[in-house]
Amino acid sequence: MEFISASKLVQTVDSNHSWFDTSFNMNIYRGCNQGCIYCDSRSSCYKILKFDTIKAKVDAPKKVEYELSFKRKKGIIGLGGMSDPYNQYEAELNYTRDSLKVINKYRFGVFIITKSDLVLRDIDLFKKINNHDVCNIALTITTSDDLLQKTIEKNSSTTSERFEAIRQLSKEGLFAGILMMPLLPFMNDTIENITGIVEQANAANAKYIYPSFGVTLRDNQRDYFFDKIGPDLKKKYIDTFGDSYMCVSPMHKELRKHFEELCNKYGILYEMNDIIRESRKHIKTTQMSLF
């Protein structure tokens, strides 16, 4: 791990709030060592050198406090858009945990994306945030079994551990769901995989599953991905998609139909507007339960 400086940590995002109702993005780490073969953050446009080395931003929690103390408008802060906030060093460094304390202090909401069950450590802070604003925790789950997961996301918590994290978060009354993305064409874009994910999500009491039936590929990310999947699958991608940025599963219509049928059967949300609406209602439900 390395330490790097950063002039600003809390970035304002587009005012339409289309991505899980977030008003701000915050990345207190750069780079990632979870070993996911498909990560878009490897793309050259993000200018992250030595991507597999995690860089912590010096005094991140203090800088977050300074920035939030001057913000007049509240909103939801997104964590994990570029780098997992619960990487292996977070267990000792506590940058994410200390930043969550600041977020709670200044009464902002959070939307968190992670592949780590270390997220369970901060349940106490999530409950406090959920008393006054949205606290939405998303575990990325791309495969229904641990074996395939370790092939494409080798250093992250297993699929089983992530489902267990969702179960515990939901048991504690928190709004937790799944990002089912990406579905890699010819690898995990199968009816069996979709079925396994949705059924396990239902068993874990996940509130939602937000899907993407394909994968994006560009420059450095594409080169890394092709190197990991081998020459035969690489040829299949090139023959099917050429140099397209968005590589949608050839089965996407069938997969989407099956996915929606299962989610409707179990009462699991999957449309963005529905997820946002329920995340907001969850605050009211939490507040009412206090009295």
Taking alpha carbons only, the member of 221, 223, 147, 212 closest to residue 182 is 212
pLDDT digits (tens, 9 = 90+) for 222-271: 999 999 999 999 999 999 999 999 999 999 999 999 999 999 999 999 99
CATH architecture designation of domain 2-290: Alpha-Beta Barrel (3.20)
Q: Is the per-residue pLDDT at 289 higher than 70?
A: no
E-state strands within the chain: 2-4, 10-12, 22-26, 29-30, 55-57, 76-79, 109-114, 135-140, 175-180, 209-211, 214-216, 246-248
Question: 10 Å Cβ neighbour count for 141?
Answer: 26
Spatial contact of 104 and 129, defined as CB atoms under 8 Å apart = yes
- What's the per-residue H, E or C state across 182-205? CCCCCCCCCHHHHHHHHHHHHHCC
Query: Counting beta carbons within 10 angstroms of the beta carbon of residue 73, is it exposed (0 to 12), middle (13 to 18) or buried (19 or more)?
Result: exposed
Output the pLDDT for position 99: 98
- Radius of gyration in angstroms for the set of CA atoms belonging to the chain, rounded to a whole number: 19
Output the pLDDT for position 215: 98
β-strand 55-57 against 29-30: which pairing, if any? antiparallel
Given pLDDT bands bounded at 50, 70 and 90, which one contains residue 283? confident
Q: Which residue has the tokens 């551990």?
A: 161
pTM for this model (two decimals): 0.95
Per cent of the chain over pLDDT 70 is 96
Q: Is the per-residue pLDDT at 114 higher than 80?
A: yes
